[in-house]
Structure 1
């Protein structure tokens, strides 16, 4: 039978044009990116400008102390997907022995002890240096003005600040000073908030390049800004700040171990993408130091199945998709990490996919079932939620909970220009809930180290100098030697799970991007979570109510432990794309959370 027809109603139009398109998880970032395109900037200039605005307008979802992964292709090499790697490593002092001496068996979900080296700022500057055309001063002008003059606080950010207000007052006074009113109360949605300290830091980066004089080219000025970030006042201020013990999600006070030398030793980089072919389209992701290849593995499992088993609107489709993701995420847990040993050629091969496909039965699996292989790393000890109390002070990584509660999350942005340059980027970390604000800088550090294990022998065991396995996983689609779409979503472990039904609806069902974004979403929780306290729910499946009572009842009959959420709760996917044959561009954005917008002409 054919795919379920899409709804005739969509929340937004599918945008089309020929000049340029920008989509992001906040309208001010979208407007910023599009304004750069309108003034002659490339997709790379626009993406960087929008990203620095996202630091300000979604401070509960990302920040300058966080991290970033992106996929892009240039107009000069439209068939070559490239990864922008902005994931910093564990500091030199972040050893298992140190955490154990602190009385910890997991890396905390909040506090500076969980901080990896900040990677987002240097990554955006690298992209500008290598592929941008604008001067850094012009790219950062939007963010500098917004930080100094202020912007209306979004409802989501206001909720996050309000939820943290008592904690800030009791334990993180520097965060209270930045985010609470003078009387100690949290701001309201719509209040104009400012961050002049951060504006000053950005201006210092610009001045570091300008100090080289007018005869130095643009790239040298940006390199000077990168050096200033890594070795100057920012690094020294972080070093001083984290030495003061402060409350972590463990419920105890710890000092951080990140030092100025850790920042000086890190630079963002470009890497080749991991790819697989699915129904005539090449799907590009990060390497297995991120979770991206899990989506590729799921696509390989699903590739030869009949279309009616791939329809995310039916019980058969949801069951099949969820079971494929369970298998792919089990392999993520068994193999993925920053040791370079994940056998992607095997994990993405047709023979291995066939073996995994044969494990999908009529009933929901409640086991973690990684594939066999010589030399496979050990699995961590599995933990259920009942083993950990939710009552300790602090919060873990902001992400969507099993019940759909949006405590916080990540950001995403996509940009395509008229020349064919295209970017999909997922910035995250360093949100206002992560760790105490560094007062001299106006931002806090991220907590990406919580994605490592304090158990020896796993694929993602904590190691100084190694990257934690990130959940950030943007996607680039290519066809006939050209990049044709960029997409992604916030959502932690769910990012690829929400992208998979979208891809199936577009690539198999023939739905438009906006139709696929608006359709009901779901995800499994039947695997170890990447975020503190690293628990799992065997057989768990979270669904939007709009999936329908009949479909949900059949899923329950198949053994899925179903949690219903509201109708519009799961995912904030955005996308842009380009038809290389006609030059026509497209974009679409998500209505969920009421912040994402696409714009273009």
Structure 2
């Protein structure tokens, strides 16, 4: 196999992300003797600024990482639904589907606390050290990528008529951000500066100041001026994909009660590699199921489909369909009430039975979840109505004119010279998902 791209090698460290400025910020941290975790935090906050159509500070982040010489871990930065987001509450509003945008769709923001926990426990830099890059790009501006303006144009009418705080930021003078034009977010820069100032004051002088500052920043986010702004704004009725205005359920208690948490990854051994993913609260185990569904020695060429052939692609795609069907039927928040039979879903016997469903000559058009341990699969009712998703996105998200989003997100990977590794996928809190919170 030949490529015109060089093989990238080095001894200092490496970064890959979905935006060059996030990669540059992370490399700057590595070059300043920071480790992979410091660099990932810096890149994560830059992504909030430079890819606002893909993620935001009010979103979430699953992280999979391995400190040098240690086993992989997962850091869950996925916030739960607010306590008030009950089925009875939505039905009392005349809804049979959670709107895809607006405050009723909001989970408790998880990204900030997860980044802070990672920085405290595994990083070496101060809060100000890792936030200065995001502050700089928010304050002084960054060249807008083309998709920001395209996304804003898609929801222009919504911003102009219903979400004025978003229009103020993303439609200054009535114009959406042109590709390459400097886009600023001074309010966000001011938020991070104030957070640093309050955290420093709360930490006080003395030994352990770095950790104390980070802990203070977590409290400011959960219980201070940030939490007050988020909970206060969520209480205002806002137009959402239902076509009506609704207030949200996110409260100060929800914010104060949330903390990111470490957990063991889900793993699968495949051809000499141990692949680690986040649990079934994410869709990470789908990839593990895809691997488990492949025939023994797949890709080696020993009597199996040759790489790149139609038979090779067919096997991959049909196995993916089966894994995705199991995701729909069985995945859920295993930390709550969901009973997710992951051990069986990844077992050799179950995988072999599922693999036998693949017709080598015909593509399946059916959704075919399995019955692990003899249990009947449970699938959601087909969505209908104005908030129903329609059409798959490719690459970056497909956005409806009401802000409904389907598609992709952003990402950052870092490895440093000491052998620390991290992979993170910030998401949620898109500019099209909720109005900008004033200030």
| Both structures adopt the same fold (TM-score exceeding 0.5) | yes
- CA deviations 1:511-537 (Å, max 9, x no partner) are xxxxxxxxxxxxxxxxxxxxxxxxxxx
Residue 397 of structure 1 corresponds to 405
8 Å contact kept, 2:241–2:402: yes
Residue 204 of structure 1 corresponds to 194
Distance 1:428 1:393 in 2: 20
The answer to whether 1:126 aligns with 2:114 is no
Distance 1:110 1:314 in 2: 41
Residue 517 of structure 1 corresponds to none
Q: Secondary structure at the match of 2:159?
A: helix
- CA deviations 1:187-209 (Å, max 9, x no partner) are 21122121111112112221233
Distance 2:177 2:148 in 1: 9
Distance 1:295 1:155 in 2: 31
Residue 565 of structure 1 corresponds to none
Distance 2:185 2:125 in 1: 24
The answer to whether 1:175 aligns with 2:166 is yes
Summarize the Cα distance change of 1:311–1:46 in structure 2 as closer, same or farther, 3 Å threshold. farther
TM-score by length of 2: 0.91
Residue 404 of structure 1 corresponds to none
Matched ranges for 1:457-476 at <5 A? none
8 Å contact kept, 1:162–1:187: no
The answer to whether 1:93 aligns with 2:84 is yes
1:62 to 55, 58, 63: 55
The answer to whether 1:322 aligns with 2:317 is yes
Distance 1:310 1:295 in 2: 20
Distance 1:141 1:68 in 2: 20
Residue 332 of structure 1 corresponds to 327
Distance 1:281 1:437 in 2: 44
8 Å contact kept, 2:292–2:348: yes
Residue 45 of structure 2 corresponds to 52
Residue 174 of structure 2 corresponds to 184
8 Å contact kept, 1:249–1:393: no
8 Å contact kept, 2:389–2:406: no
Distance 1:56 1:136 in 2: 17
Distance 1:377 1:36 in 2: 47
State the 1:416 CA deviation.
0.2
The answer to whether 1:299 aligns with 2:291 is yes
Summarize the Cα distance change of 1:133–1:245 in structure 2 as closer, same or farther, 3 Å threshold. same
2:264 to 272, 281, 295: 272
8 Å contact kept, 2:241–2:386: no
Residue 32 of structure 1 corresponds to 25
Summarize the Cα distance change of 1:43–1:155 in structure 2 as closer, same or farther, 3 Å threshold. same
Q: Secondary structure at the match of 2:147?
A: helix
Residue 571 of structure 1 corresponds to none
Count of aligned pairs: 421
Distance 2:20 2:351 in 1: 40
The answer to whether 1:367 aligns with 2:375 is no
Summarize the Cα distance change of 1:353–1:129 in structure 2 as closer, same or farther, 3 Å threshold. same
Summarize the Cα distance change of 1:388–1:219 in structure 2 as closer, same or farther, 3 Å threshold. closer
The answer to whether 1:103 aligns with 2:98 is no
Residue 395 of structure 2 corresponds to none
Summarize the Cα distance change of 1:312–1:260 in structure 2 as closer, same or farther, 3 Å threshold. farther
Matched ranges for 1:233-312 at <5 A? 233-304=225-296, 306-307=298-299, 309=304, 311=306
Residue 313 of structure 1 corresponds to 308
State the 1:375 CA deviation.
4.5
8 Å contact kept, 1:279–1:303: no
2:355 to 340, 354, 357: 357
Q: Secondary structure at the match of 2:137?
A: helix
Residue 438 of structure 2 corresponds to 439
Q: Over aligned residue pairs, what C-alpha RMSD do you find?
A: 2.0
Summarize the Cα distance change of 1:388–1:25 in structure 2 as closer, same or farther, 3 Å threshold. closer
8 Å contact kept, 2:72–2:276: yes
- CA deviations 1:535-568 (Å, max 9, x no partner) are xxxxxxxxxxxxxxxxxxxxxxxxxxxxxxxxxx
State the 1:145 CA deviation.
1.5
8 Å contact kept, 2:227–2:255: yes
Unaligned 5+ segments in structure 2 are: 391-398
Distance 1:163 1:189 in 2: 15
Distance 2:262 2:305 in 1: 34
Unaligned 5+ segments in structure 1 are: 1-5, 400-408, 441-601
Summarize the Cα distance change of 1:432–1:389 in structure 2 as closer, same or farther, 3 Å threshold. closer
8 Å contact kept, 2:99–2:387: no
The answer to whether 1:424 aligns with 2:423 is yes
1:9 to 3, 10, 25: 3
Summarize the Cα distance change of 1:392–1:322 in structure 2 as closer, same or farther, 3 Å threshold. closer
Matched ranges for 1:137-156 at <5 A? 137-156=128-147
2:107 to 113, 116, 131: 116
262-271 or 158-167: which moved more? 158-167
Matched ranges for 1:223-242 at <5 A? 223-242=215-234
